[in-house]
Amino acid sequence: MTGQDARDVIAEAINDDGWTCDVHEPHRFGECTPCRDAQTHTAQAALDALTDAGYAIVRLPERDMTSEHATPESQHEVPLWALGDGLVAVVSTCCGELSVTGGDYQPDEGRTLAAAILAAAAHAEAGESDE
């Protein structure tokens, strides 16, 4: 799904769930233009409804790098999400702590930083190991 926006992800899920036009059996997403257009329209309506209700749809970024992080108990690789001169890191996957360093951000950078924090939080909650 790399490169797809949220609308296309939802439209493809609608297709995969079997929602197609009256003429077709379920098929690969995008094979029927009228089906794809209707699915995309419905997906956009769903996104608009969520936005109107105050929800934000955020694509979580992949982590950028790892860094050695020494703790008194152990030494392990810590995944990092970078933004300019700011950094979001999972400081302790065992405790699920996050550390945010950096300075001031423009609004678009703030959105990117928020997505990086959400990605780091999901990583910490999952207890993923990078050792």
What one-character DSSP code corresponds to residue 72?
A: S
| pLDDT at residue 102, rounded to an integer | 65
Each residue's pLDDT, cut to its tens digit, for the chain (131 residues) gives: 345 688 888 988 888 887 777 776 667 788 888 888 888 999 999 999 988 888 888 887 777 766 655 444 545 566 777 766 666 665 545 566 666 776 677 778 778 888 888 888 888 777 754 54
Q: Report CA-CA distances (Å) from 53 to 14, 39, 49, 57, 94.
A: 21, 21, 6, 12, 35
pTM of the predicted protein model: 0.59
| pLDDT at residue 46, rounded to an integer | 92
* Nearest CA among 50, 48, 40, 55 for reference residue 9: 40
- For residue 35, how many other CB atoms are within 10 A of its CB? 22
- Cβ atoms of 87 and 81 within 8 Å: the answer is yes
| pLDDT at residue 94, rounded to an integer | 58
| pLDDT at residue 88, rounded to an integer | 66
H or E element that contains 82: strand 75-83
The domain locations on the chain are 6-52, 65-126
